[in-house]
């Protein structure tokens, strides 16, 4: 097992973490700069007082633990677009927007995993001569789905929220891709049914929230449900050619836990996902574990 710190590429023109501190983060998405809450940023800001507000176009104002409003400091649209070029030189495009949950439609720290997905999909496709089957669970607006599809996979994208599925479909069309399979379902229920059906996948991505609900009101709590989820997911992996990614954004959760859940295969990479700010501080954004295998050999 290799313990790593994985950083979002600094060569991403459309994204920049400018500064962090005081339980907030200052970020640039394309040409627009946002201020958003960040519970991990317990340290002081590097930029002088008032500099954040001078630079930012918009600031999120929390109204509760899970929702709030945006205060515009400069003129900007409610929706705009950015792009990301994977290691396979494919351009993925995303529509961003100011949501009431402080999110804008993308998690930039996942870019390193998009590259891993693109690489793994391409390797399996080249070695088998067929499109790999990839399952993206808790798939949100689809960055991982787009990376797999662009690299030649047959993709099943699952999320429990219909509006999020619509957003992901919009990103697919912006990226000039098609034929992703959309599933609005509780992830654990879907995975259990797939196990019973005997279905397998060459790639599975899990990026579960700390808390959530399925479309039928099913409750999800990471610490209570993740072990059952992972053990079922492991049964869905193609025995010869596969890759698996598990992310967990939960305060206090160790990458050792991820390794134990995945049964610590010899080719496991695990550690923290970090964003490096241009002011020098580092922002931890969850732990991860991932590995890939081709015909019984690590790739």
Note the pLDDT of residue 88. Answer: 79
94 lies in the same domain as 198? yes
pLDDT of 296 over the 60 cut: no
Q: How far apart are CA 6 and CA 43, in angstroms?
A: 21
72 lies in the same domain as 178? no
Task: Evaluate whether residue 277 is within a structural domain.
Answer: yes
Residue at which a domain ends, from 27, 45, 77:
77
Note the pLDDT of residue 5. Answer: 61
Note the pLDDT of residue 249. Answer: 83
Task: Evaluate whether residue 2 is within a structural domain.
Answer: no
63 lies in the same domain as 93? no
pLDDT range class, residue 213, cuts 50, 70, 90: confident
Task: Evaluate whether residue 1 is within a structural domain.
Answer: no
Q: How far apart are CA 23 and CA 39, in angstroms?
A: 5
Q: Hunting for tokens 């697919």 — which residue is that? A: 172
187 lies in the same domain as 256? yes
The CA-atom distances, in angstroms, between 101 and each of 6, 105, 296 are 26, 10, 43
45 lies in the same domain as 163? no
13 lies in the same domain as 151? no
Residue at which a domain ends, from 77, 101, 120:
77
Note the pLDDT of residue 297. Answer: 53
Task: Evaluate whether residue 70 is within a structural domain.
Answer: yes
The percent of residues above 90 in pLDDT, for the chain, comes to: 82
What's the domain count of the chain? 2
Strand partners, 144: none
Using CB atoms within 10 A of its CB, is residue 296 exposed (0-12), middle (13-18) or buried (19+)?
exposed
Name the nearest CA neighbour of 205 among 286, 117, 285, 298: 117
32 lies in the same domain as 90? no
Note the pLDDT of residue 66. Answer: 80
Name the nearest CA neighbour of 166 among 91, 101, 105, 114: 105
Task: Evaluate whether residue 198 is within a structural domain.
Answer: yes
139 lies in the same domain as 281? yes
* CATH number of the domain that residue 30 is part of: 2.60.40.1180
168 lies in the same domain as 291? yes
State pLDDT tens for residues 259-291: 999 998 989 999 999 999 999 999 999 999 999
Residue 118 domain boundaries? 82-298
Work out the mean pLDDT of the chain and round it to a whole number.
93
Note the pLDDT of residue 1. Answer: 46
> How are beta strands 211-213 and 68-72 bridged, if at all?
unpaired
Out of 18-32, 133-147, 252-266, pick the least confident: 252-266
101 lies in the same domain as 223? yes
198 lies in the same domain as 276? yes
pLDDT range class, residue 212, cuts 50, 70, 90: confident
Task: Evaluate whether residue 3 is within a structural domain.
Answer: no
CB 94 within 8 A of CB 83: yes
State pLDDT tens for residues 68-93: 999 999 999 999 999 999 887 889 99
Task: Evaluate whether residue 48 is within a structural domain.
Answer: yes
Task: Evaluate whether residue 229 is within a structural domain.
Answer: yes
* CATH number of the domain that residue 171 is part of: 3.40.50.150
185 lies in the same domain as 286? yes
Residue at which a domain ends, from 53, 77, 101:
77
């Amino acid at each position: 097992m290799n313990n790593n710190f994985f950083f979002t590429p600094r060569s991403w023109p459309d994204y920049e973490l400018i500064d962090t501190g005081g339980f907030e983060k200052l970020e640039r998405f394309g040409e627009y700069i946002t201020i958003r809450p960040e519970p991990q940023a317990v340290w002081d800001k590097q930029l002088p007082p008032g500099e954040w507000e001078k630079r930012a176009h918009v600031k999120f104002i929390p109204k509760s633990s899970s929702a709030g409003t945006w205060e515009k400091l400069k003129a900007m649209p409610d929706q705009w677009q950015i792009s990301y070029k994977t290691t396979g030189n494919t351009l993925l495009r995303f529509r961003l927007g100011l949501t009431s949950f402080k999110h804008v439609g993308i998690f930039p720290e996942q870019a390193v995993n998009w590259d891993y997905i693109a690489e793994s999909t391409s390797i399996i496709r080249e070695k088998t001569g067929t499109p790999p089957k990839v399952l993206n669970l808790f798939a949100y607006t689809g960055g991982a789905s787009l990376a797999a599809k662009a690299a030649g996979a047959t993709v099943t994208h699952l999320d429990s929220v219909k509006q999020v599925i619509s957003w992901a479909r919009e990103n697919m069309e912006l990226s000039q891709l098609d034929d992703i399979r959309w599933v609005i379902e509780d992830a654990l229920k879907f995975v259990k049914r797939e196990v019973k059906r005997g279905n397998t996948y060459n790639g599975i991505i899990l990026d579960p929230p700390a808390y959530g609900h399925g479309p039928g009101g099913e409750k999800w709590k990471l610490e209570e449900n993740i072990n059952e989820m992972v053990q079922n997911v492991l049964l869905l992996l193609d025995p010869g050619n596969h890759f698996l990614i598990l992310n967990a954004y939960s305060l206090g959760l160790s990458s050792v836990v991820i390794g134990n859940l995945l049964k610590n295969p010899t080719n496991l990479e695990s550690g923290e996902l970090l964003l490096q700010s241009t002011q020098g501080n580092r922002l931890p954004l969850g732990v991860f574990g991932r590995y890939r295998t081709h015909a019984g050999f690590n790739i």
